[in-house]
Homo-oligomer: A and B are copies of this chain.
Amino acid sequence: MTGTVAGTATLLEHLDEGLAAVEGAMLDVTDSQVEVLRDASRHILGAGGKRIRPRLMLLAYMALGGSDLNYVAGPAAAVELMHTASVVHDDINDHGIMRRGRPSVNATWGRTFALLTGDFLFTAVYELMASYGALNIDLAQAATALVEGETLQATAVKSNDFSREVYMRVIALKTAALFRAAGAIGAKLADAEASEVEALSEFGFNLGLAFQIIDDILDLVADEKSLGKTSGIDVDQGRGVAVALGAENGHGGAPSADPVDAIMRKLLEGDTIHKAREQASLLISRAIDSLDVLEASPAKQALVELAHEVVNRDR
């Protein structure tokens, strides 16, 4: 018991060192000679964020016996930068003015530089991964999936044609594929067996799906609050926009100007926030189940806690 607590304390210290190395890698690779790219990158990176993708990769690596966190810092920084690049471009398409509690890159530097900053972060991903051989395949496929998911989402918004199937396909591509790659790359960097790589891939994928569902629910709740419709939506009852829209299939409801709003609202068509939370919990259980092939360790335990944290978070 004392051993586990001590092991956990050591692990968390180790993880913090790893995350610090990830921050360092992100700052290094974005230290451009071109001022606006450096400044805009640091603006968005400095705003923080949950760093859940790097944490997933670092823990997957440690759960499979890896110990050189500096070796993993590059790829872990790469998955976070890939996500960040997509966020910067999203804020152009969605006219997002705030991001992580700060004005968005788009709002601060304008569209042209936001577009170029997103491109730059993407090239930084590529630079970080260049010396990691075949692992590039995992990340490249996830990158393509991410863009495909964003595009499917934009297409569905434009044609006002959301169904649960479309929603699940969108989040599998735009979010879960990168989580899967983070798990897989962490495992591969630790020279894991194929079955272990598969376990961490599955863990990452289901974690990613749950993460996005919860993210969309939280955004919707925040929207409700800011719209002043409710002083705090009754999450368990699933009241709100879903009911207000009153649509049972993917073709009802008014089109929204904001794709993110739209997808969240559509998610809940004919459904309730409660059900969506249940689905996220189910996905988290599946994710945790896939870790059965791993030996017990503080890092494995931390992965389980990460999964619970994703579904229980309130921001």
Contact = CB atoms under 8 A, between A and B. Distances in A.
Interface stretch (A63-71, A113-121, A220-228, A266-274): A113-121
A155 B38 CA distance: 13
A134 interface: yes
Interface string A11-42: 00000000000000000000011111100000
A124 interface: yes
Interface of A: 32-37, 86, 89, 92-93, 111-113, 115-116, 118-120, 122-124, 126-127, 129-131, 133-134, 136-137, 139-141, 143-144, 146-148, 150-152, 154-155
Number of copies: 2
Contact of A130 (B32, B122, B136): B136
A70 to B, nearest CB: 19
A138 to B, nearest CB: 9
Contacts of A140: 123, 126-127, 129-130
Contacts of A139: 126
A154 B122 contact: no
A151 B37 contact: yes
Given A129-B136, A143-B126, A34 B112 contact: no
B120 A36 contact: no
Nearest to A144: B123
B33 A120 contact: no
Pick the 6 closest A-B CB pairs, nearest first.
A130-B136, A126-B140, A123-B144, A123-B143, A130-B137, A127-B140
Interface centre among A36, A93, A116 (most CB of B within 10 A): A116
Given A89-B115, A127-B140, A129-B136, A120 B34 contact: no
B147 A123 contact: yes
A93 B120 contact: no
Contacts of A133: 133
Given A122-B119, A126-B136, A136-B126, A151 B113 contact: yes
